[in-house]
Structure formats: structure tokens, C-alpha cells
Amino acid sequence: MIPPEILFKALKNHGVGLFAGVPDSLLKSFCAWLEDHANPGEHVIAANEGNAIALAAGYHLATGKITAVYMQNSGLGNTVNPLTSLTDPEVYRIPILMIIGWRGEPGIKDEPQHIKQGRITPALLTLLDIPHWILEAGGNLDVILAEIFAALKKNGAPAALLVRKGALADYKSRRKQSFNACLKREDALCQLLKLAHPRDLIISTTGKTSREVFELRVERGEPQRDFLTVGSMGHTSSIALGVALGNPARRVICLDGDGAMLMHLGALPIIGSLKPANFVHVLLNNSAHESVGGQPTVAGRVDFSAIAKACGYRHYYLAADVINLEKYWKQIEQEKGPIMLEIRIRIGSRDNLGRPTSTPEQNKKAFMEHAHE
Ligand SMILES: Cc1ncc(C[n+]2csc(CCOP(=O)(O)OP(=O)(O)O)c2C)c(N)n1
């Protein structure tokens, strides 16, 4: 296995001037190393992978240097537009080193949302004319990087390092909790499931939120009727908006994460301008991408009250404990949406957290039956 510091130092020796990206579980030790050791201004955690590519392009325009942009392969879709219309040799020809965590690699067991993307990742890079190299546990990093940087220099365009599961050695970050909050995400979700009406339509975000909602329903002996957005990070609020518009007679509760909300923040003014009265947008804010390793987001420094108001939400509440959560929920019951309820939570989840045992299609069917009752 390759220690993350070796990768970091080798990239710097090759002249990488900036590191940017969206965290991934397969790359979490590298992300953690960057957090602890990159110089100020040398590492940016972007809101989405397309933004990271554009940022890398801008950095190259200013310095002539290469940025290493890391991401999970789920984020490739977000990069296709800037890769084809900005950095491509047929447009501005800008070199970028992409470091991609290869979830769903064929032959390796993974969750349903990763299978298709894992299968098409190399072909997608080929289609985009992006030469790519595979990094695995026993791989010769020096040789691979020499070849990649030679290609980056020769083509002046993006090249990619596809990182297999287990290629990088462990490293734990020294990071601390963002908020001094008492509730963990699962505690907040447990309260919300108690407060919600059985007829409410719940749509939950990517990562541990959906896994916890699934397990909490099992524990509570209740049917699985919530829509679990296992992939499509950042799109949960738009899915929920579609549900709210299509089913105005039912209250829709969107359970969002801060990383996910920031990823496609543009959904908020659309919700605010359409003003679905049945829309409650819960933001579970731990100021981190906890599901993939706890890397920080900027959400701890963002005024979501101002954002909600500016985007046209009718009400905003901030809770950090059960007493306030219950108090504000009583108010929410009386009011018209869209309403944003931010809940400040601490990082942390149980070690034995499972994954949905039903398939996404079974989940969809159960949700639709519930929605049509
Ligand atoms: C487009 C895309 N990029 C990255 C990922 C990997 N990923 C899955 S969950 C997650 C973190 C989500 O963070 P947040 O919404 O704050 O929720 P938390 O994990 O903290 O509960 C990331 C980065 C992904 N699934 N899709």
C-alpha cells in the first residue's frame, strides 16, 4: 500500500502547485494527509467536482502549474462539462491531474449506486480522450507518475490516476469536531422520525443519512417507505421538490447534508421561488463529509438563515438539541413551506452501521406506494 505522504511528496516533486477536490472514501487517507499537511492556500475542498476542475483551470491560467484534482468516480459526471468545454485540447487545452477513487470496480463487491459508474469509468475517460493509469497496492508509483506527467506535458491536457480500493495506506486526521453539538446525526434522525407524521413523504440524502434512516425504520418496526437517495449527491432537494410539486396534498421532508446541499446550492432559489407550501428542508449540518471520512466543509461558517431567506424560503429555524427540535417542529406544523430547519450535529456514527438490504427499485416501489396511499 502506498502511504499518502509518499503520494503527496511525489506530486509536489512533479510540480503540483494546488490540490483540490471533493472527498472520497477510497482516497480518505490522502484527503486527511492534505488537511493536516498542505500549506495554507495549497488545498481546496470544492463544492463539487466540476468546480474543482474549473478551479484547477484558473490556477493554471494564473501560474502555468498543474493542480491535482481528487474525486470519487461518482463525481465524474459533474466534471464532464468543464472537461469537454474548458480543459479539452479542442478548446483551451489545460493540463490537470485527476486522481479518481474507483468505486464499483468490476469484480469488487460494492453498493448498487456504484456498479454502473465503476464499470464505465475507464471507458468514460477514454471517451473523453483522457489517458489514465491505474494505481494499486503493489503499484510502482514513481514509474506511473513519470508516465502521467510526461503525458500531461506532452498533451497539455488532463490525465487521470484511477485509484483502486486498498491502494493507499491508512492515515487518520488530527481534525476536531466542527460544532460543539450534543446530537449525532442518528440522534437527530431518530427524533425527526418520531416527530414526522406517518403520511409525510421523506426523501433522504446520500451517504450515512440514508443508511441510518433505513436502520431506524427497522429498529422502530416501521415499513421502509422513505426514498433513500443512495447516489446523486446534492440532488435530494430537487427530487424532494419534484415530489412536493407532484403531490401537494402531502408534506414532504427533505433530509439533506451540508456537503450535499453545498454541492448543488443552486437548487435552493428554485425551491424558494416555487414556494411549495408542503416542503420542509432539514439540513443536518456537521460541517463535514462524514460519510467518506469526515473531511470539513465550509458549512460551519455559512449563514444558512440568510441563504434560506434570500432564496425565498418562508421560515428558517436552527436547533442543536432535542428540546429546540421539538419546539420548532411544533411551529413548523403550523406554517406553510418552504421551511428550512438546520440542525447542528456532531460528527459520529455507529461502527456497525449497515446498508439498505432492499434494492433501489424495491425502495422506489415502496415509496411510490406510500406516496399514492
Ligand atoms: C457526485 C459525488 N461526489 C462525491 C461522492 C462521495 N460522497 C458520498 S457521501 C459524501 C459526503 C456527504 O456529505 P454531507 O452531505 O455533508 O453528509 P454527511 O456524510 O456529513 O452526513 C461524499 C463526498 C458522491 N457520492 N457523489
Q: How large is the average pLDDT for residues 265-273?
A: 98
The residue nearest atom 2 of ligand 1, judged by CA position, is 75
Q: Name residue 316's beta-bridge partners.
A: 340
Render 267-290 in DSSP notation, one character per residue: HHHHHHHH--TTEEEEEEE-SEEG
How far apart are the C-alpha atoms of 36 and 82, rounded to whole Å? 29
CA 344–ligand 1 middle distance (angstroms): 17
- Each residue of 77-118: pLDDT tens digit? 999 999 999 999 999 999 999 999 999 999 999 999 999 999
Q: What is the pLDDT of residue 174?
A: 84
- Give burial (CB, 10 Å; 0-12/13-18/19+) of 294: buried
Distance 297 CA to ligand 1 centre (A): 11
Stretch 335-356: mean pLDDT: 96
| 299, pLDDT greater than 90 | yes
- For ligand 1, what atom is nearest to the CA of residue 23? 23
Distance CA 244, CA 322 (A): 27
Predicted pLDDT of residue 180: 86
Q: What is the mean pLDDT of residues 208-212?
A: 98
- Please report the atom of ligand 1 found closest to the CA of residue 208: 21
Ligand 1 pocket, 343 CB below 6 A? Answer: no
Averaged pLDDT for residues 333-343: 98
**Statement: residue 176 has pLDDT above 90:** no
DSSP one-letter code for 300: G
**Could you tell me which residue, 179 or 5, shows the higher pLDDT?**
5
Closest atom, ligand 1, to C-alpha of 286: 20
Query: Tell me, what's the pLDDT at 128?
Result: 98
pLDDT computed for residue 178 by the predictor: 80
Confidence (pTM): 0.97
Per-residue pLDDT at 165 exceeds 90: yes
Question: Could you identify the atom of ligand 1 that is nearest to the CA of residue 347?
Answer: 20
Kindly report the protein residue whose alpha carbon is nearest to atom 1 of ligand 1: 75
pLDDT score at 227: 98
157 vs 74: CA distance, rounded Å: 21
- Does residue 296's CB lie within 6 angstroms of at least one atom of ligand 1? no
Please check the confidence at residue 177 and state whether its pLDDT lies above 90. Answer: no
Model confidence pLDDT, tens digit, residues 258-267: 999 999 999 9
The string of pLDDT tens digits covering residues 232-245 is 999 999 999 999 99
- Give the whole-number percent of the chain exceeding pLDDT 90: 97
With bands split at pLDDT 50, 70 and 90, how would you rate the model's confidence at 221?
very high
pLDDT of res. 198? 96
State the burial class of residue 333 (Cβ atoms within 10 Å of its Cβ: 0-12, 13-18, 19+).
exposed
Per-residue pLDDT tens over the stretch 7-52: 999 999 999 999 999 999 999 999 999 999 999 999 999 999 999 9
For residue 333, the SS3 value is: helix
Burial code of 297-324, b = ≥16 C-beta within 10 A, e = fewer? bebeebebeebbeebebbbbbebbbeee
Q: What is the mean pLDDT of the chain?
A: 97
- Label residue 175 by pLDDT band (50, 70, 90): confident
Query: Residue 346 carries which DSSP code?
Result: B
170-175 contact pairs (CB < 8 A, 24+): 170/29, 171/3, 171/4, 171/5, 171/29, 171/30, 171/32, 171/33, 172/32, 173/32, 173/33, 173/35, 173/36, 173/293, 173/294, 173/295, 174/36, 175/32, 175/35, 175/36, 175/294, 175/296
Mean pLDDT value of segment 256-284: 98
C-alpha cell at 14: 512533479
| Domains of the chain, earliest start first | 4-163 (3.40.50.970), 185-372 (3.40.50.970)
Dihedral (Cα; 330, 336, 340, 346), 10-degree rounding = 20
